[in-house]
């Protein structure tokens, strides 16, 4: 690297933030030291993003940083956790100051919004990629897991689905609506919603690979099935202006990168859900069943057939 690693870290990554009482020692030693309060559990998640695989190679550095952090925070949101710290392993082909500054700006803009502290990491030379490990707290026993769904639970999703997938397919067209580009380049981790669902949702997951695939993970882990009315899937005006409803439904079910939450709530807690979610946009799309199958249908009961599965990693 043209700039010494120590200088890069100090200039672009050692950003002091509001006092975070649980960090005993942050960047600067061989490892960080943190403490976990007695009544909390530690939630950990790691995700790697590779240039050309998880984001187009020409993505702006600030957008890359936002997305890399957002997808990790989204995993914590899906557990109902409050994020506290992250570590970052960044591999760069070269150390360009402009790139580093923009990456750092994008990273800390999101990190500061959720009061998340970067407490350590690693810099290496190589093809552009990054791994972020996010860590957060949840009161003991309250984590939203994939294995808690029960027959009769109602299935909900946050916001709209399919926009990020549409943006990925068409990102080279400059005319895409900004809302769609934002959904793809700057997904919003639904941290506050995850926190609200503690003690209410039986199961939750964030939608990274399409609703069908990700709900499928809940069904498998919970040993249950689901019936989804595809006519109720929340679709944005932008996607409906660009696609026939059937194609938009297909994207909502199979396109990745939305990072919305899918969660299940028992019927006797739906009033509580309505109360805590007063200012949120979320939609009931179906019900958990004991069939162990995912049944997709229209309003009139006619079966909906998926044309493709969700994003396949291998
Ligand atoms: Mg996830």
- Residue 299's CB is within 10 A of a number of other CB atoms, namely 9
CA 260 to centroid of ligand 1, rounded, Å: 10
CA 75 to centroid of ligand 1, rounded, Å: 5
CA 204 to centroid of ligand 1, rounded, Å: 9
- Is the pLDDT assigned to residue 19 strictly greater than 70? no
Q: What is the mean pLDDT of residues 31-38?
A: 93
CA 76 to centroid of ligand 1, rounded, Å: 8
Tens of pLDDT, residue by residue over 48-103, are 999 999 998 999 999 999 999 999 999 999 999 999 999 999 999 998 999 999 99
Query: In whole angstroms, what is the distance from residue 274 CA to residue 173 CA?
Result: 39
In the chain, % of residues over pLDDT 90: 76
Q: Output 15 or 303, whichever has higher pLDDT.
A: 303
Query: Residues near 139 by Cβ (< 8 Å), separated by ≥ 6?
Result: 39, 40, 41, 198
pLDDT of res. 169 = 86
CA 40 to centroid of ligand 1, rounded, Å: 21
pLDDT of res. 28 = 84
Helix, strand, coil share of the chain (percent; to 5): 35, 25, 40
79 HSE (CA, 13 A, CB side): 22
Token duo for residue 257 = 């990168």
Q: What is the mean pLDDT of residues 283-310?
A: 90
CA 45 to centroid of ligand 1, rounded, Å: 9
CA 205 to centroid of ligand 1, rounded, Å: 6
Which residue's entry shows tokens 């995993």? 75
pLDDT of res. 172 = 76
CA 88 to centroid of ligand 1, rounded, Å: 18
pLDDT of res. 309 = 61
CA 255 to centroid of ligand 1, rounded, Å: 14
Bridge partners, 312 (sequence order): none
CA 305 to centroid of ligand 1, rounded, Å: 25
pTM of the model: 0.93
Which residue's entry shows tokens 């998926």? 306
Pairing relation of β-strands 203-206 and 261-265?
Answer: antiparallel
Pairing relation of β-strands 225-229 and 294-297?
Answer: parallel
Q: Where are the alpha helices (DSSP H) in the chain?
A: 5-8, 61-79, 97-113, 163-170, 178-185, 191-196, 211-222, 237-242, 245-254, 270-276
Give φ, ψ of 33 to 5 degrees.
-125, 130
Tens of pLDDT, residue by residue over 156-201, are 999 999 999 999 888 777 688 888 889 999 999 999 999 999 999 9
Tens of pLDDT, residue by residue over 190-241, are 999 999 999 999 999 999 999 999 999 999 999 999 999 999 999 999 999 9
CA 1 to centroid of ligand 1, rounded, Å: 33
Q: What is the mean pLDDT of the chain?
A: 92
pLDDT of res. 16 = 60
Inter-residue contact 156 to 282 (CB < 8 Å): yes
Token duo for residue 253 = 């079910």
The DSSP secondary-structure symbol of 12 reads: I
Q: What is the mean pLDDT of residues 104-112?
A: 96
Query: Residues near 84 by Cβ (< 8 Å), separated by ≥ 6?
Result: 20, 22, 23, 34, 116, 117, 135, 136, 137
CA 189 to centroid of ligand 1, rounded, Å: 11
Give φ, ψ of 245 to 5 degrees.
-55, -40
């Amino acid at each position: 690297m043209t700039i010494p690693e120590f200088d890069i870290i100090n200039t672009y990554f050692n950003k002091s933030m509001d006092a975070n009482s649980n960090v005993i020692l942050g960047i600067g030693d061989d490892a960080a030291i943190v403490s976990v309060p007695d009544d909390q559990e530690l939630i950990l998640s790691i995700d790697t993003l590779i240039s050309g695989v998880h984001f187009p190679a020409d993505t702006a550095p600030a957008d890359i940083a936002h997305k890399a952090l957002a997808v990790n925070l989204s995993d914590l949101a899906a557990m109902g956790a409050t994020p506290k710290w992250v570590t970052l392993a960044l591999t760069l082909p070269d150390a360009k100051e402009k790139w580093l500054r923009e990456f750092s700006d994008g990273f800390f803009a999101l990190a500061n919004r959720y009061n998340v502290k970067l407490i350590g990491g690693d810099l290496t030379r190589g093809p552009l990629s990054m791994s972020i490990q996010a860590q957060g707290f949840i009161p003991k026993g309250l984590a939203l897991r994939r294995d808690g769904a029960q027959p009769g639970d109602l299935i909900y999703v946050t916001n709209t689905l399919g926009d990020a997938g549409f943006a990925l397919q068409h990102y080279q067209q400059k005319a895409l609506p900004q809302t769609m580009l934002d959904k793809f380049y700057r997904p919003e981790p639904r941290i506050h919603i995850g926190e609200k669902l503690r003690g209410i949702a039986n199961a939750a997951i964030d939608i990274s690979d399409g609703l069908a695939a990700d709900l499928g993970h809940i069904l498998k882990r919970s040993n249950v099935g689901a019936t989804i009315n595809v006519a109720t899937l929340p679709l944005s005006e932008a996607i409906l202006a660009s696609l026939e409803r059937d194609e938009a439904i297909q994207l909502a079910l199979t396109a990745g990168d939305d990072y919305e939450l899918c969660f299940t709530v028992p019927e006797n807690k739906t009033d509580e859900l309505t109360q805590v979610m007063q200012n949120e946009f979320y939609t009931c799309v179906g019900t958990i069943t004991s069939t162990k199958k995912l049944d997709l249908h229209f309003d009139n009961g006619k079966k909906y057939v998926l044309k493709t599965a969700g994003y396949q990693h291998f």
